[in-house]
Amino acid sequence: MTDQPDTSAVTGTACIQSYLRTLKSGPGVYRMLDASAQVLYVGKARNLKARVSSYARGQGHSPRIARMIEETASMMFLTTRTETEALLLEQNLIKQLKPKFNVLLRDDKSFPNILVSREHPFPQIKLHRGAKKEKGDYYGPFAGAGAVRRTLNQLQKAFLLRNCSDATFDSRTRPCLLYQIKRCSAPCVGYIDEAAYGESVKDAARYLTGKSTAVQEQLAREMAEASEAMEFERAAALRDRIRALTQVQSAQGINPQNTAEADVIALHVDGGQACVQVFFIRANQNWGNHDYYPRLNGEEDAAEIMQAFVGQFYANREPPRMLLLSHGLDDADLMAEALAEKAGRKVEINVPQRGEKAELVESALRNARESLARKMSETATQGKLLKGLSEAFEMSVIPQRIEVYDNSHIQGAHAVGAMIVAGPEGFVKSQYRKFNIKGEELTPGDDFGMMKEVLTRRFKRLLKEDPDRQGGTWPDLLLIDGGAGQVSAVAEIMAELGVEDIAMIGVAKGIDRNAGKEEFHRIGKPVKALRHNDPVLYFVQRLRDEAHRFAIGTHRAKRSKAVGATPLDDVPGVGATRKRALLAHFGSAKAVSRANLADLKAVEGVSGKLAETIYAYFHEKG
């Protein structure tokens, strides 16, 4: 990092010019910060000194860049060895810091894959999301879990592979329902041997790597042979498998013949908003699509938006061998070099003008246009509802972030708190939060106590992480499921935390406890009701119902996990595989806890050292 001059007394071009004396001419990344040290912009440059000199000129800038320069009170620099390294660093910093003048990809979720595991003689086929730590073959990415499940459903019909866990497999004594409905060949009870099952796994792998025609031809030959041998039941089963493969292909819609592996990325901009549509083409098959709505300032051109999107999209994802784009990049060669360095192989970036690849881009572009039109319509409607909400409850501002809180428990057991978030673009599910209730002194079923714990933890964190309220994570409105007592309790909690300027509304069911007759409670104001057909009433009901749904789902997940928990979960060094081995050997966790050291050492996969750890854990507990 270069030495930083004292620029505290100046801003704008004068501040920027003060850095030119010490800057080198090599590649690197620069950050522009405002007077409160908030990052305004992150950029990379082949020549840092030349790039900063361009900002130091007082004219020739777009209105957006001019505003950014005017707000700049300091700068930071990181030099790199190459421009490619600078590009990769720039995109990581943008994702981390979220500067307000950068184009920002707001949805950063991971994509699922299909995994054919290799840790068992009879491999399992399943959905996988996250780090690829488990041994096996991964196929993807798919656009979403729904696309994976649809494909798995048909692959089960075609290849009869199991999807049960290894523990379930090992405990079966008779075939499950999937065998009865012809979705599994029941290897768990020996209805198919390891060699025959292995051939089915190979066929599934061939299909998932694009050799679907060869697989179908092989199945067709086997069906003909079975018919000639008058094995009509086997022939019918093979016919069903061929039909299942055909259904997979027809459901995918787009199945390019000459494009084996590519991401198709199309951009449409309208009214200062953008939609980027991504199609995932793998093994000559369409594995789904996903739309993104990057944050813009309204003045960026298509090349700048596309450059920013591609860089951020692949910052933590492996790029395919080819990108097919609707618009060119500012620096396509540099991006291709950066992606190739990340992937460890060549990555092509094309803007096709004709042929099959151009048709793929046009299809993605059509989806982007339609998705943005729907999004803009929904945003306009949401904006009217937020405005109506502020008017109905006499708020001084139109809320841009609403947080809704709810609790869920059964007689105090497995208690959780839940927070959902809504704003101008609807529900912001990436901002939802769950809170495991930790207060040991709480009386079971103490909703007031649980709410106090949730809000205290939430706002203490906000006060610590964003005391100046610049990060967009502070709410304008709190919606509480409850009446006057609940609202008063929340007000006391907020007063204790020193946060008393956030509007609060309690939503109670009313005298008849019927939806549509809700009463709204606020501090220092009379109880309010809305007319039964008021859109704002329906909006609040949706918010409350979504919070309730999320709280119930979180509670059920916690309860389900608790039901399957055993004392072995807390023993250091005992993971899922060793846990299964111990339970299979001893029959129960209680029997493991009572076992002597010699018996523990006799368990397959348990070393002498681990056996001593397990024995010591239960001995100390006892």
Which CATH number is 348's domain given?
A: 3.30.420.340
pLDDT attached to residue 622: 41
pLDDT interval class at 414 (50, 70, 90): low
What mean pLDDT value characterizes the chain? Answer: 85
Q: Which residue has the tokens 């996990």?
A: 561
Percent of the chain with pLDDT over 70: 90
Whether 549 is in a domain gets the answer yes
Same domain, 416 and 305: no
Residue 159: per-residue pLDDT = 85
- Using CB atoms within 10 Å of the CB of residue 160, give its burial: 0 to 12 exposed, 13 to 18 middle, 19+ buried: buried
**Nearest of 243, 297, 307, 305 to residue 272 by alpha carbon:** 297
SS3 9: coil
Of the listed ranges 17-26, 431-440, 480-489, 543-552, the one predicted with least confidence: 431-440
Boundary of a domain, candidates 233, 252, 271: 252
Average pLDDT of span 6-17: 76
Examine the fold and report which residue of 252, 272, 290 is the final residue of a domain before the chain moves on: 252
Q: Is residue 8 part of a domain?
A: no
Q: Are 277 and 302 contained in the same domain?
A: yes
Q: Tell me if 415 sits within 8 A of 450, measured CB to CB.
A: yes
150 & 235 share domain: yes
155 Cβ contact partners less than 8 Å away, ≥ 6 residues apart: 114, 125, 161, 204, 207, 208, 244, 248
Other C-beta atoms closer than 10 Å to the C-beta of 621 total 10
Q: Is residue 102 part of a domain?
A: no
Chain-centroid distance, C-alpha 84 = 27
Range with the poorest average pLDDT among 192-196, 281-285, 293-297, 334-338: 281-285
* 450 vs 348, higher pLDDT: 348
From residue 417, alpha-carbon distances to 405, 451, 478, 496, 622 in Å are 7, 7, 14, 20, 33
- The residue among 57 and 440 whose pLDDT is bigger is 57
* Closest C-alpha among 250, 252, 306, 299 to residue 277: 306
Instruction: Check whether residue 411 and residue 553 sit in a common domain.
Output: yes
pLDDT at 81: 92
Please count the structural domains in the chain.
5
Specify the pTM. 0.71
Model confidence band, residue 562 (pLDDT cutoffs 50, 70, 90): low
List of E strands, 189-321? 261-270, 273-282, 285-292
Residues 508 and 535 in one domain: yes
- For strand 113-117 and strand 136-139, is the pairing parallel, antiparallel, or unpaired? antiparallel
Quick one: tokens of 306? 């596309």
392 located within any domain: no
Distance from C-alpha of 402 to C-alpha of 419, rounded to nearest angstrom: 10
497 and 436, same domain (yes or no): yes
pLDDT of residue 32: 95
Predicted confidence (pLDDT) per residue in 23-37, tens digit: 988 999 999 999 988
Residue 417's pLDDT band, with cuts at 50, 70 and 90, is confident
- Secondary structure of residue 509 in the 3-state scheme: coil
Q: What CATH number is attached to the domain comprising 47?
A: 3.40.1440.10
433 and 486 belong to one structural domain: yes
Q: Which pairs with CB-CB distance under 8 Å and at least 24 residues apart come from 576-583?
A: 577/605, 578/605, 578/606, 578/610, 580/166, 580/167, 580/170, 581/605, 581/606, 582/606, 582/614
Task: Output the DSSP codes for 389-407.
Answer: HHHHTT-SS--S-EEEEEE
pLDDT digits (tens, 9 = 90+) for 185-230: 999 999 999 998 998 898 888 878 876 666 767 777 878 888 888 8
**Does the residue 379 lie in any domain?**
no
Check whether 42 has a pLDDT greater than 90: yes
Q: Are residues 452 and 491 in the same domain?
A: yes
pLDDT at 512: 55
Contact 87, 307 (CB under 8 A): no
What is the percent of the chain with per-residue pLDDT over 90, rounded to a whole number?
A: 37
The edge-to-edge listing of strands for the beta sheet with 125-128 is 125-128, 113-117, 136-139
Q: Are 364 and 278 in contact (CB under 8 A)?
A: yes
The values of phi and psi at residue 527, to 5°, are -60, 140
Looking at residue 271, its pLDDT comes to 83
Query: If 0-12 CB within 10 Å is exposed, 13-18 middle and 19+ buried, where does residue 239 land?
Result: middle
Whether 6 is covered by a domain: the verdict is no
CA distance 607 to 110: 36
For residue 325, is pLDDT > 60? yes
In a domain, 106, yes or no: no
Task: Determine the 3-state secondary structure of 61 from DSSP.
Answer: coil
Instruction: Please report the pLDDT score of residue 53 as a whole number.
Output: 93
Residue at which a domain ends, from 38, 62, 97: 97
pLDDT(7) > 50: no
Which domain, by its residues, includes 90? 13-97
Looking at residue 576, which CATH number applies to its domain? 1.10.150.20
Of 404, 401, 406, 402, the C-alpha closest to 553 is 406
Q: Are residues 414 and 537 in the same domain?
A: yes
Judged against a pLDDT cut of 60, whether residue 433 lies above it is answered with: yes
Residue 135 in tokens: 């041994």
Residue 3 has pLDDT above 60, yes or no: no
How many other C-beta atoms can be found within 10 angstroms of the C-beta atom of residue 414?
A: 20
- Do 429 and 485 lie in a common domain? yes
Whether 494 and 437 map to the same domain: the answer is yes
Q: How many other C-beta atoms are found inside a 10 Å radius of the C-beta of residue 182?
A: 14
**Helix, strand, coil percent values for the chain (each to nearest 5):** 45, 20, 35
Whole-number Å distance between alpha carbons of 382 and 535: 11
Mind listing the pLDDT tens digit for each residue in 139-155?
A: 888 888 888 888 888 78
* Residue 528 located in a structural domain: yes
Task: Report in angstroms the alpha-carbon separations of 277 from 255, 290, 317, 321, 597.
Answer: 17, 6, 17, 18, 59
532 and 592 inside one domain: no
Mean pLDDT of 224-238: 79
Alpha-carbon gap, residue 481 to 418, rounded angstroms? 11
